[in-house]
């Protein structure tokens, strides 16, 4: 009998809010089907490792090889840049300013960073004050200096994932591939080479890597290539970003076997189990839902089959996860697939024509079992939008069993979300809700197909405030045809209700490659759609209305950015 040993990896790079929810979900599926599996959160470990005194000392030594420092670090001269890229004089000037600006002006600054960065990172979840965050960011910038012009894009708050960017590279095939092997421009090359030795990656038969964001793509491919070079494991990749840019992968069969062996699209809970059974000679590869693989030098993609019985999905597994390490400390759990509304014009779920949800009694069974197993009572329910009818029955059962838990979830602004229902949810442990309002312009809401009533929105916000439930509300700027007047309607709405929603957040509209908006681009005046960066998950485009830059300036004026 062939038995597989599986490792699931969450790669860098985004803010270490929590372990990405897909990893515990898939780990739970594997273990629930009696498959030996482990999980590794390399996103968290990357931060922890590179902020260690040992790594920061190595960084300083590397910088001394690249630059000449005089006694007081006040004069810096470039000594070498012998890779394919040449920095312009303006880039060199910016680089020198960056190095001098807060790191090399005093030798004491370096000593402080080296001795305290990792300690600061460990206490950030408990003491996320401005001084600690500042030193955290400075330390990260310091460790990236040998890879200049790579820099970190810093978020405005700890709930936004940040990433490392390098203006020398785009999301073209050539740049992605070149970057994956360039140890002088890619901090992950040497880091992953050392890391896979320490975790004994060669003992695993199958290694799965999730790619949740486009910014994780090149680190994931870097890791995949190293694993293929240094181990005998089969490497599979999946995640939201793989689903969005799958056509780009299929155009490059040469990547299969070199960076990964197969890609998973669709719902991975069943597919990953079936893939392991295939490796054990117990399941035909042709029937693995959504699998993309190479056979006889041809790329084959199996049909996606949705999971019809959600009760077959096992509870998530958080074994060996230290919740105290993360900023948002919770057990993430999902009770439904798809969205019961599923019609928003900008949303990926508008293409996923299915919705099913667990029985609320069984959902509480899972909550109770996780509560006892991990002795941890904080949960995040990350269904795309929790059905209010389900939520009420769910709350009734929690109250009936007298479970002492806290949980947050996503809701739509529905009139059925009454004060009485919210009061019951609060009693059951609900402490926070994430809403997607997107705009307060009736015209834009209609184009988005949101189907929400702004008077209902205001009523719900006042009700949650009165009940002590925190409401995080998301808005989108520069949706095609949005005018300054449309944006001002949203700003006026927020200012009028800021007492009830102190956590209003704005994001920029991006034209995702699988966005339903593409189906009526003519109606929105979307033109000049460019696909030159084939591994980006968005298109560049032009459309009538205010630009992202104009929207940002207006928001800054009203202290909303």
Name the fold adopted by 330-557.
Answer: TIM Barrel (3.20.20)
CA angle 154, 155, 160 (to 5 degrees): 135
7 neighbors 201 (Cβ within 8 angstroms): yes
Dist. CA 188–CA 124, nearest whole Å: 24
Radius of gyration of the chain (CA): 24
Dist. CA 99–CA 105, nearest whole Å: 8
Dist. CA 314–CA 26, nearest whole Å: 9
- The torsion of the CA quartet 25, 26, 31, 33, rounded to 10 degrees, works out to 110
For the domain spanning 5-43+170-301, the CATH number is: 3.40.50.280
Residue 216, CA atoms < 13 Å, CB-side half-sphere: 25
Query: Does the pLDDT at position 232 exceed 60?
Result: yes
Query: Does the pLDDT at position 295 exceed 80?
Result: yes
Dist. CA 307–CA 316, nearest whole Å: 16
- For residues 371-385, give the mean pLDDT: 94
330-557: same fold as 5-43+170-301?
Answer: no
Domain locations along the chain: 5-43+170-301, 48-165, 330-557
- Tens of pLDDT, residues 523-556: 999 999 988 899 999 999 999 999 999 999 999 9
Dist. CA 245–CA 237, nearest whole Å: 12
490 three-state secondary structure: helix
- The single-letter DSSP state of residue 33 is T
- For residues 1-15, give the mean pLDDT: 88
Query: Does the pLDDT at position 115 exceed 80?
Result: yes
Average pLDDT of the chain, as a whole number = 88
Tokens representing 69 are 């420092």
- Based on the number of CB atoms within 10 Å of its own CB, is 46 exposed (0-12), middle (13-18) or buried (19 or more)? buried
CA angle 504, 505, 511 (to 5 degrees): 140
Do β-strands 331-333 and 503-508 pair in parallel, antiparallel, or remain unpaired? unpaired
Q: What is the pLDDT of residue 168?
A: 83
Give the DSSP per-residue string, 116-166. HHHHHHHHTTT---HHHHHHHHHHHHHHHGGGTT-EEE--SSTTS--EEE-
Q: What is the pLDDT of residue 320?
A: 87
CA distances from 419 to 331, 498, 538 (A): 27, 19, 40
- For residues 19-46, give the mean pLDDT: 94
- Tens of pLDDT, residues 402-449: 999 999 999 999 999 999 999 999 999 999 999 999 999 999 999 999
- Tens of pLDDT, residues 439-496: 999 999 999 999 999 999 999 999 999 999 999 999 999 999 999 999 999 999 999 9
Tokens representing 263 are 């890609």
- Is-cis flag, bond preceding 13, omega within 30? yes
- For residues 327-356, give the mean pLDDT: 82
421 neighbors 392 (Cβ within 8 angstroms): yes
**Across 57-61, 315-319, 346-350, least confident range:** 346-350
- For residues 70-74, give the mean pLDDT: 40
Confidence of residue 92 (pLDDT cuts 50, 70, 90): low
Q: What is the pLDDT of residue 65?
A: 72
Q: What is the pLDDT of residue 67?
A: 60
- Please tell me the pTM assigned to this model: 0.90
Q: What is the pLDDT of residue 309?
A: 84
1 three-state secondary structure: coil
**Across 38-52, 59-73, 112-126, 374-388, least confident range:** 59-73
Tokens representing 533 are 């960066």
- For residues 50-54, give the mean pLDDT: 95
Instruction: Compute how many other C-beta atoms are within 10 angstroms of the C-beta atom of residue 287.
Output: 12
Dist. CA 137–CA 143, nearest whole Å: 10
């Amino acid at each position: 009998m062939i038995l597989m040993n599986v490792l699931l990896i969450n790669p860098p790079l985004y803010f270490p809010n929590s372990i990405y929810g897909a990893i515990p979900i898939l780990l739970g599926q594997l273990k629930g089907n009696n498959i030996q599996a482990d999980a590794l959160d390399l996103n968290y470990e990357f931060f922890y490792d590179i902020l260690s005194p040992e790594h920061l000392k190595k960084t300083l030594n590397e910088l001394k090889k690249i630059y000449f420092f005089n006694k007081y670090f006040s004069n810096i001269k470039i000594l070498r840049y012998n890779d394919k890229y040449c920095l312009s004089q303006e880039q060199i000037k910016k680089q020198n300013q960056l190095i001098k600006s807060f790191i090399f002006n005093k030798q004491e600054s370096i000593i402080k960073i080296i001795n305290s960065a990792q300690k600061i990172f460990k206490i950030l979840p408990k003491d996320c004050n401005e001084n600690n965050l500042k030193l955290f960011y400075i330390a990260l910038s310091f460790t990236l200096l040998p890879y200049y012009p790579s820099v970190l894009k810093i978020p405005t708050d700890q709930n936004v994932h940040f990433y490392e960017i390098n203006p020398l590279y785009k999301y073209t095939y050539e740049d992605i591939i070149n970057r994956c092997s360039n140890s002088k421009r890619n901090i992950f090359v040497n880091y992953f080479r050392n890391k896979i030795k320490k975790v004994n990656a060669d003992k695993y038969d199958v290694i799965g890597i999730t790619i949740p964001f486009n910014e994780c793509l090149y680190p994931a491919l870097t890791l995949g290539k190293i694993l293929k070079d240094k181990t005998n494991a089969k490497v599979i990749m999946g995640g939201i970003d793989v689903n969005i840019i799958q056509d780009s992968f299929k155009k490059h069969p040469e990547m299969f076997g070199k960076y990964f062996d197969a890609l998973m699209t669709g719902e991975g809970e069943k597919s990953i189990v079936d893939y392991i059974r295939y490796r054990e000679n117990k399941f035909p590869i042709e029937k693995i839902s959504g699998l993309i693989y190479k056979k006889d030098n041809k790329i084959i993609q199996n049909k996606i089959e949705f999971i019809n019985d959600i009760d077959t999905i096992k509870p998530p597994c958080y074994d060996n996860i230290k919740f105290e390490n993360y900023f948002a400390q919770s057990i993430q759990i999902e009770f439904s697939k798809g969205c019961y509304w599923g019609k928003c014009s900008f949303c990926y779920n508008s293409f996923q024509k299915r919705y099913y949800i667990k029985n609320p009694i069984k959902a509480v069974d899972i909550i109770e079992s996780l509560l006892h197993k991990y002795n941890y009572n904080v949960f995040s329910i990350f269904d795309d939008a929790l059905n209010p009818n389900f939520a009420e029955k769910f709350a009734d059962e929690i109250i009936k069993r007298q479970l002492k838990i806290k949980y947050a979830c996503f809701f739509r602004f529905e009139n059925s979300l009454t004060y009485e229902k919210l009061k019951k949810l609060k009693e059951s442990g609900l402490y926070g809700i994430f809403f997607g309002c997107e705009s307060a312009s009736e015209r834009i809401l209609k184009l988005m197909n949101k189907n929400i009533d702004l008077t209902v929105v205001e009523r719900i916000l006042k009700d949650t405030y009165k009940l002590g439930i925190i409401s995080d509300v998301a808005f989108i700027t520069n949706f095609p045809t949005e005018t300054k007047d449309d944006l001002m309607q949203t700003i006026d709405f927020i200012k009028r209700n800021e007492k009830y929603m102190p956590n209003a957040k704005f994001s920029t509209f991006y034209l995702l490659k699988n966005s339903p908006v593409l189906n009526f681009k003519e109606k929105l005046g979307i033109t000049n759609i460019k696909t030159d960066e084939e591994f980006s998950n968005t298109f560049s485009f032009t459309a009538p209305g205010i630009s992202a830059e104009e929207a940002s300036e207006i928001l800054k004026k009203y202290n909303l950015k």
